[in-house]
Structure 1
Amino acid sequence: MSGNSAKISPAVKLGTVYSILFAISSVHLLNDAMQSVVSALFPIFEDSLGLKFGQIGWIAFTLNMTSSVLQPAVGLLSDKKPAPWMLPVGMGCSLVGMVGLAYAPSFWMLLLAVVFVGFGSAVFHPEGSRVVFFAAGERRGLAQSIYQVGGNFGQALAPLMTIYIFVPLGQRGAVLGTFLAIAAILVLLRVVPWYGAQLAEKGAPVKKKAAGSAPVVSPYNKKVIAFALTLLLILVFARSWYAAGIGSFYNFYMQDKYGLSIKAAQVPLFIFMAAGVLGTFFGGILSDRFGRKRMMLFSIAGSAPFALLLPHVSLGWVYPVIFVLGFILQSGFSVSVVYAQELLPGKVGMASGLITGLAFGMGGLGSIVLGTAADHYGILDTMVACSFLPLIGLLSILLPKDRRE
C-alpha cells in the first residue's frame, strides 16, 4: 500500500488524483446513506413507535446537531493535528448507530442510536474534506463537487430505502445499514495510507500555510472575512431549513394533500434529491468557470420561484417543478464549501465543518420548528410557509467577490 502511495504522490503536484476523489466520494455516499437510514425510517417510526411530527423533528435535530456541534470542533482539531485513522473510527461509530436504530424499543433509545450516527458523520467530514483538498490539484470546484455528489446521492437513497426496505421489513431492516459501514471501512483501507503519505510529504495545511492549495494568503481583510462568513452562514441556514422541510415532511404533505400512499409519496422526494445530485456536480464545474458568488446567487435565489410555486401546483406538475427546484437549490452547496475554504486558507477542516456541519445543524433545528408547527397548524400550512425560505438567498448578492470573478 505504501508503494502505491509513493506512486500517486507526484501526481498530486501535477493535477487532480481522480482515483482518490472517487474513493472518498464513495465513502461520503456510504456515510450519508447511513444518515439517510434515519430519515427513511420516519414513516416507519410514526407507526412502530407511535411518534408525532414534533418527535420526528427531534430525531432529525439530534442527528444534525450532533454533526453540527462536533464537526467544526473536529475540523479545528484536525487542522492542527490531522488523524487519518479517525476516518475508519467514525465509520465504526455509525455501524453501532445502525444496530441501535434497528432494535431501539423506545424514543429515547432511538435518540441515543442517532447520536452514534451523527458522531460518525462529524468525524468523517473534516478529514474527508482534507483528503479532497490534497487530491484536487487546481480543480477545486470540480473536486468538491465529486465529493459532494457522493454525499447527495447517499441522501437521495432515503426514499428508495423506505419503499424497498423499510415498508416491507419495518424498523429491523435498519440492521442492513451495517453493511454500508463495513463497505466504507474497506474503501478507507485504500484511502487512509495515501492520505497519511500526503501529510508526511506536505504537512498539515495549518502548519504550512495552505500547503498544496491556493491561494496561500486570503485576499480579504478580517472584517470582510467576518462579514462574508456571517452572511454565508445565513444563506446556509435558509437552504438547510428548506431542505429539512422537504426531506423530513414533504412525504407526509404528499399523503395529506394528494392522498398518496407511503410508497408513492417517496417518488417526488427521490426526484428532488436525485436532481440535487446533478445540481451539485454541475454547480462545482460551473463555479470554476463563472465564480463561486455567482453560483451561490443562482442556487439559492434562483430556486425561490420554484419553491413558492411547488405547494400550489397539481399533482402532475409536482414532478417537473420539484426536479428543477432540487437541481438549482443544490447547485450551490459544494460551491459554498469552496468559498468558505478560500475565505479561510489553511483552515480547510474548520471551514468545511462550519458549512457542512452547520448545514446539517440548522436543518435539524428547522426540523423541530417545522415538525412542531405541523402538529399545531397542520402539515399543509406549514409547507406553504416553508416555501418562502429560499427568498433569503437574495442576500447572496452582498457577498464579496471571489478570486475567480
Structure 2
Amino acid sequence: MTSSPRRRAGPVPLLSAGHACVDVYQGSIAALVPFFVAERAYPYAAAAGLVLAASLLSSVAQPLFGVLTDRWAMPWLLPVSTLAGGVGVALCGLTDQYAPTLVVVAFSGLGVAAYHPEAARVARIAGRGSHTSMGWFSLGGNLGFATSPLLVSAVVATGGLAASPLLVLPAVAGALLSTAALRSMKRRTPPGAGASRVSPGRDDWASFARLSGAIACRSVVFVGLGTFLALYAPERVGGGAAVGAAALFVLYLGGAVGTVAGGRLATRFGRLRVVRWSYALTAPAVAGIVFVPGPALFVFAAATSIGLSVPFSLHITLGQDYLPRRPGTASGVTLGLAVSVGGVAGPLIGALADSTSLHTALTPLIALPGLGRLVLRPLREPARPEDRAGPVEG
C-alpha cells in the first residue's frame, strides 16, 4: 500500500515531467513562427531563421556539454538550464527588432542544449538502464512539444507577442521538478553507488556516425514539418491559424504515443529492428501530408509523428551503447542533432517556399526517412553496459 505513492513520486516520473517543461521551449519557437509572420510580417526564410537561432547554438553547445558531463557530474545543470530556456522564449516578444529576438531565442537554445546531455545521463541512472524508463523520460519531452503550440496560442493569440513573458512559467515548474527528482535520487542511491562513471566496453565510432546520420535525416523531417505545418495545414484543409495550431498539436502529440511504444517494442523485437521499420513506414506518411488534401492531413500528421518518435528514446540508448565510455557525448550528439540539423535546414526550406510554394518545399522531405533507413542497414545491435555488468531490472 505504501510502495505505490513512492513509485509515483520517484525520480523517473519527476524527470519526465521536468523534461516536458524544457521541451515546451523546443516546440515553442516553431509554434511562434505564424505569429512572427502575421504580427511582424517576417518572410518565411526570416521566420525559419528564428528556429535556426534556437537550434544552431545547440548543434555546437550540446555535444560540448556532453563532453563535460562525461568528466564531471553536473546535476545542477537541470534546473539552471531549464530556467535559461524559459527566459529566452519569454523575452522574444518584447522587442520589435529582429537581431535582439535572434539573441534571446539563441539563449533559450543554449539552455535547452545544456539540459539534455546531463538529463539523459541522470535518467539512465534513475531508470537503471531500462528501455521503458528511458521511453517514459523521452515521453515527457514529446508531451512538452505537443503542448507548446497550445500554450503559445493561448498566450500569444490572446495578448500578442508582448504577452510572451508568461511563457516563463513552465520553466519555473520544470526547475522545481528537476530539483525534486535529484533529491529523490540522492535519497534512493546507496553510498558508493554510481561511483564508477566509466562503463566497460570499447567505443564504436563508425556505428555511432551512421546512427547520427540517420538521426540527421529524421531531424530535417521533424523540424521542417514542425516549422511549416502550421502554415501549410490551412492551405490543404482550409481555415485559419487554429487549424494550423491543431495540426502542429497532432504532429507533436503523436510523438507521445510513438515514444512509449518505442521502448516497449524494443524490449520485444530489438532496438535496431524497431528503428529501421519506423523509418521505412514514415516515408509514405510524410507523402500523405504533402499530397493528400483535406482533413486526412491530420491522420497522416499523426502517423508521421508516431513513425518519427518511436525511435527517439532508442536513438539515445543506442548512442550511449555505441560510445559506452562517453555517454554524455553520445547524448549530446544524438539529442543535439535531433533539433539542430533540422534547424539548419529550416531556412533552406523557407527560402524554397518563398521562391516556389510550401507544397514544393516540403516535397523533398518524403525521401529522407528512406535515406535514414539505408544508413542504418549495416548496423548491429551493441552490447549494453548494464548487460555487461549483470542483470538490470526493468
TM-score (norm 1): 0.87
- The answer to whether residue 341 in structure 2 is matched with residue 362 in structure 1 is yes
Tell me if the contact between 2:52 and 2:344 (Cα under 8 Å) persists in the aligned partners: yes
**Residue equivalent to 1:56:** 47
**Residue equivalent to 2:379:** 399
**Residue equivalent to 2:138:** 148
Structure 2 vs 1, CA of residues 192 and 372 (structure 1 numbering), >3 Å: closer, same or farther?
Answer: same
- The answer to whether residue 321 in structure 2 is matched with residue 342 in structure 1 is yes
SS of equivalent residue, structure 2 residue 96: coil
Tell me if the contact between 1:40 and 1:161 (Cα under 8 Å) persists in the aligned partners: no
Tell me if the contact between 2:66 and 2:328 (Cα under 8 Å) persists in the aligned partners: yes
Residue identity in the other structure for 1:397: R
Tell me if the contact between 1:49 and 1:106 (Cα under 8 Å) persists in the aligned partners: no
- The answer to whether residue 268 in structure 2 is matched with residue 268 in structure 1 is no
**Residue equivalent to 2:99:** 108
Structure 2 vs 1, CA of residues 162 and 181 (structure 1 numbering), >3 Å: closer, same or farther?
Answer: closer
Tell me if the contact between 1:255 and 1:265 (Cα under 8 Å) persists in the aligned partners: yes
Residue 190 of structure 1 deviates from its aligned partner by 1.4
**Residue equivalent to 1:217:** 201
The 5 Å alignment of 1:267-306 reads 267-306=246-285
TM-score (norm 2): 0.90
**Residue equivalent to 1:122:** 113
**Residue equivalent to 1:179:** 169
Tell me if the contact between 1:278 and 1:327 (Cα under 8 Å) persists in the aligned partners: yes
Q: Provide the C-alpha distance between the structure 1 equivalents of 2:74 and 2:363, rounded to a whole number of angstroms.
A: 45
- The answer to whether residue 21 in structure 2 is matched with residue 21 in structure 1 is no
Residue identity in the other structure for 2:257: L
Tell me if the contact between 1:291 and 1:402 (Cα under 8 Å) persists in the aligned partners: no
Residue 75 of structure 1 deviates from its aligned partner by 1.0
Q: Provide the C-alpha distance between the structure 1 equivalents of 2:9 and 2:80, rounded to a whole number of angstroms.
A: 24
Tell me if the contact between 2:33 and 2:48 (Cα under 8 Å) persists in the aligned partners: no
**Residue equivalent to 2:179:** 189
Tell me if the contact between 1:205 and 1:346 (Cα under 8 Å) persists in the aligned partners: no
Tell me if the contact between 2:315 and 2:334 (Cα under 8 Å) persists in the aligned partners: yes
Q: Provide the C-alpha distance between the structure 1 equivalents of 2:324 and 2:9, rounded to a whole number of angstroms.
A: 23
Tell me if the contact between 2:155 and 2:166 (Cα under 8 Å) persists in the aligned partners: no
Structure 2 vs 1, CA of residues 316 and 50 (structure 1 numbering), >3 Å: closer, same or farther?
Answer: closer
- The answer to whether residue 20 in structure 2 is matched with residue 41 in structure 1 is no
Residue 203 of structure 1 deviates from its aligned partner by 4.7
Tell me if the contact between 1:17 and 1:136 (Cα under 8 Å) persists in the aligned partners: no
Tell me if the contact between 2:31 and 2:245 (Cα under 8 Å) persists in the aligned partners: no
**Residue equivalent to 1:241:** 220
The 5 Å alignment of 1:127-138 reads 127-138=118-129
Structure 2 unaligned spans of 5+? 385-394
Tell me if the contact between 1:205 and 1:348 (Cα under 8 Å) persists in the aligned partners: no
Dislocated runs of 4+, deviation >6 Å: none
The 5 Å alignment of 1:156-175 reads 156-175=146-165
Q: What is the aligned-residue identity percentage?
A: 26
Q: Provide the C-alpha distance between the structure 2 equivalents of 1:68 and 1:164, rounded to a whole number of angstroms.
A: 30
Q: Provide the C-alpha distance between the structure 1 equivalents of 2:8 and 2:329, rounded to a whole number of angstroms.
A: 23
Structure 2 vs 1, CA of residues 293 and 44 (structure 1 numbering), >3 Å: closer, same or farther?
Answer: same
Residue identity in the other structure for 2:123: V
Structure 2 vs 1, CA of residues 275 and 36 (structure 1 numbering), >3 Å: closer, same or farther?
Answer: same
Residue identity in the other structure for 2:378: L
**Residue equivalent to 1:213:** none
User: After alignment, is 194-203 or 65-74 more displaced?
Assistant: 194-203
SS of equivalent residue, structure 2 residue 279: helix
SS of equivalent residue, structure 2 residue 92: helix
User: After alignment, is 170-179 or 275-284 more displaced?
Assistant: 170-179
Residue identity in the other structure for 2:51: A
Work out which of the residue numbers 63, 68, 82 in structure 2 matches 1:77.
Answer: 68
Residue identity in the other structure for 2:183: P
Q: Provide the C-alpha distance between the structure 1 equivalents of 2:255 and 2:78, rounded to a whole number of angstroms.
A: 26
Deviations along 1:275-325, one digit per CA (max 9) or x if unpaired, are 111101110121122111111101112211221232221313212222222
Tell me if the contact between 2:254 and 2:305 (Cα under 8 Å) persists in the aligned partners: yes
Q: Provide the C-alpha distance between the structure 2 equivalents of 1:201 and 1:363, rounded to a whole number of angstroms.
A: 41
Structure 2 vs 1, CA of residues 176 and 201 (structure 1 numbering), >3 Å: closer, same or farther?
Answer: farther
Work out which of the residue numbers 190, 204, 208 in structure 2 matches 1:229.
Answer: 208
Tell me if the contact between 2:251 and 2:304 (Cα under 8 Å) persists in the aligned partners: yes
Structure 2 vs 1, CA of residues 388 and 304 (structure 1 numbering), >3 Å: closer, same or farther?
Answer: same
Tell me if the contact between 1:71 and 1:353 (Cα under 8 Å) persists in the aligned partners: yes
Tell me if the contact between 2:126 and 2:185 (Cα under 8 Å) persists in the aligned partners: no
Deviations along 1:56-109, one digit per CA (max 9) or x if unpaired, are 121111111222211111111111011122222212322431331131221111
Tell me if the contact between 2:123 and 2:137 (Cα under 8 Å) persists in the aligned partners: yes
Tell me if the contact between 2:85 and 2:111 (Cα under 8 Å) persists in the aligned partners: yes
SS of equivalent residue, structure 1 residue 105: coil
Residue identity in the other structure for 1:193: R
Paired positions, count: 378
Tell me if the contact between 2:12 and 2:181 (Cα under 8 Å) persists in the aligned partners: no
Tell me if the contact between 1:279 and 1:327 (Cα under 8 Å) persists in the aligned partners: yes
Q: Provide the C-alpha distance between the structure 1 equivalents of 2:118 and 2:254, rounded to a whole number of angstroms.
A: 27
SS of equivalent residue, structure 2 residue 201: coil
